[in-house]
Amino acid sequence: MRPDLARIMRVKATQIRRQHLVSQVLLKQFTTAGPEGSGLQLRPVDVQNPERRNKLASTRTCGWADTFVAFDSASAEKLWDSVERGAHAAIEAVHAGTPFADPLHVEALRDLIVLHYVRSHRYRDVYTNAFETVRVKVRREVVGRFPDPLRREALRQTGLHLASEGALNAFAGRLVEQSEVTQGFGTGALFRTSIESMFNRVRATASNWRLEVLTPENGQFLIGDNPAVTVRTDTRPWSYNMAIGDAHSIVLPITPRHLLALGRNNIVSTIPRALMDQINIVQIRAADCYVYMHPRSTRLEMFAREAAKRWRADRVSPYRAAASESRNRRS
Residue-wise pLDDT tens for the chain (331 aa)? 555 545 544 455 567 888 999 999 999 999 999 887 779 999 999 999 999 989 999 999 999 999 999 999 999 999 999 999 999 999 999 999 999 999 999 999 999 999 999 999 999 999 999 999 999 999 999 998 998 888 998 889 988 888 888 888 898 889 999 999 999 999 999 999 999 999 999 999 999 999 999 999 999 999 999 999 999 999 888 999 999 999 999 999 999 999 999 999 999 999 999 999 999 999 999 999 999 999 999 899 999 999 999 998 887 544 444 444 444 443 3
Domain boundaries, the chain: 1-22+68-208, 24-62+209-319
Phi, psi of 29 (to 5 degrees): -70, -20
Burial of residue 54, with CB atoms counted within 10 A of its CB: 0-12 exposed, 13-18 middle, 19 or more buried: middle
For residue 3, the model assigns a pLDDT of: 56
- 307 CA to centre of own chain: 21
What is the DSSP annotation of 29-43?
GG-EEPGGG--EEEE
For residue 15, the model assigns a pLDDT of: 76
For residue 40, the model assigns a pLDDT of: 94
pTM score, two decimals? 0.87
For residue 34, the model assigns a pLDDT of: 83
For residue 35, the model assigns a pLDDT of: 80
Residues 316 and 251: their CA atoms lie apart, in Å, by 27
For residue 315, the model assigns a pLDDT of: 74
Query: What kind and span of H or E run contains 46?
Result: strand 40-46
